[in-house]
Amino acid sequence: MKLALIQMKGTVENDENIAIAVQQIKEAADNGADFVVLPEMFSCPYKTSNFPVYAQRDGDRNWQALSKAASENGVYLVAGSMPEVSDGKIYNTAYAFDRQGNQIGKHRKMHLFDCDIPGGAFFHESETLTAGDSVTTFETEFGTMGLMICFDIRFPELSRLMCEDGAKLVIVPAAFNMTSGPNWWEIMFRTRACDNQFYMAGCAPARDVDASYVAYGHSIVVDPFGKVLSELDEKPGILYQELDLAETEKFRSQYKILKSRRLDIYSLKDIRH
């Protein structure tokens, strides 16, 4: 499969951001992409007070435009993440569509990012967002995919549960900032790939130094050995990477990490709703 990560710079206008994304999806498809990914909160400025203002329901115009883009271009699409409103609550939500535009996955960010760095970032998602409660995987012609959002990557239990559900690639729309990015972006993706012997792909917004929240960029793809296959810098662009998800079994047969676990002593108890 050919993966395309769209590292776009957004605007303050929802409809303009959707139009940019749709154009970039077409460009990726024209360049042979099978699977396209958008960044975290690509439809609005990444600011907690914006999330209730920009939030839409399932099936509203953003959902419809992205479903149509997947169908018209014949690609799988992980539509980054967007603010979603449901029953009076706001979620940070990522939708996945198949080549016909059908929704085949939906993930609400499970771990809300709150930080207060002296002289640096102050950001509390919990001020406006509600945490999701589902481990999200979905099926494609290439195999099982896992889907998480940004801060979710910090918690090894979640990626391990996706591994146990058969995921061969975990996709992460994410917006690390200028403190967390330089320190932990690459480490997190390489570590989770090594932990579970699967591919990891992170799609970030392009850096905008004039924004209230400055994203690190550096969209990335890592293989099951923890090797960085490709990575962008901070500027807008599309990262293309060919993947063969069957390769995960080759890695696992050489280094038997997963088979060597002591499940007689420890295990994860997966509680699903």
Annotated catalytic residue within 9, 44, 106, 150: 150
Annotated catalytic residue within 9, 40, 106, 194: 40
Question: Is 109 noted as a catalytic residue in this protein?
Answer: yes
Which position has the token pair 């900032």? 177
Where helices occur in the chain by DSSP H, the ranges are: 14-30, 50-54, 61-73, 156-164, 180-196, 247-254
Annotated catalytic residue within 9, 106, 109, 168: 109
| E strands, the chain, in order | 2-7, 35-37, 76-78, 82-86, 89-97, 103-108, 114-116, 122-124, 136-140, 143-147, 169-173, 199-203, 220-222, 228-231, 237-242
Question: Is 150 noted as a catalytic residue in this protein?
Answer: yes
Question: Is 40 noted as a catalytic residue in this protein?
Answer: yes
φ/ψ of residue 96, rounded to 5: -120, 135
What's the CA gap between 213 and 215, in Å, rounded? Answer: 6
The amino acid occupying position 261 is R
Which residues does the annotation mark as catalytic?
A: 40, 109, 150
